[in-house]
Amino acid sequence: MKNVILRIDTKDKVVRVSAPFGCHHDLIVEIVRKHKEKIKSRFSKRAVFDISEPDLSEGGLIPFLGQLFRLHIEHIEYTTARNVSINHEDRTITLFVCSNDSKRELFHILTQWYFKNFRNILIPIIDKYAAKVGRKANTYGIKIVNGYWGICRNRAKSIIFNLKLIAMPSEVIELIVLHEHVHLKHFNHGKDFKAEMTRLMPDWKHREDELKSYQRYFI
Backbone φ and ψ of 132, nearest 5°: -65, -40
- Is residue 167 domain-shared with residue 143, that is, in the same domain? yes
Quote the percentage of the chain above a pLDDT of 70.
86
Assess whether 140 and 211 both reside in one domain: yes
209 plus 118 within the same structural domain: yes
CATH code where residue 143 lies:
3.30.2010.10
CA distance 189 to 182: 10
In a domain, 141, yes or no: yes
How far apart (Å, rounded) are the C-alpha atoms in residues 5 and 16? 8
Confidence of residue 124 (pLDDT cuts 50, 70, 90): very high
Q: Does residue 135 sit in the same domain as residue 162? A: yes
Asked if 20 and 67 sit in the same domain, the reply is no
The verdict on residue 56 lying in a domain is: no
Phi then psi dihedrals of residue 37, to 5 deg: -65, -40
Q: What is the DSSP code string of 23-44?
A: --HHHHHHHHHHTHHHHHHHHH
Distances (CA, A) of 150 to 57, 92, 157, 175, 192: 30, 28, 13, 10, 20
- Position 119 scores a pLDDT of 97
According to the model, what pLDDT value does residue 22 have?
74
- Could you report the per-residue pLDDT of 50-93, keeping only the tens digit for each? 888 888 999 998 999 988 899 999 999 877 789 999 999 999 99
Q: How far is CA 149 from the centre of its chain?
A: 7
Domain tally, the chain:
3
Q: Are both 40 and 136 inside the same structural domain?
A: no
Q: What per-residue confidence (pLDDT) applies to 48? A: 62
> Which residue type occupies 219?
I
Inter-residue contact 178 to 197 (CB < 8 Å): yes
Model pLDDT for residues 141-193, shown as the tens digit of each residue = 999 988 899 999 988 999 999 999 999 999 999 999 999 999 999 999 999 99
Domain containing residue 15: 5-49
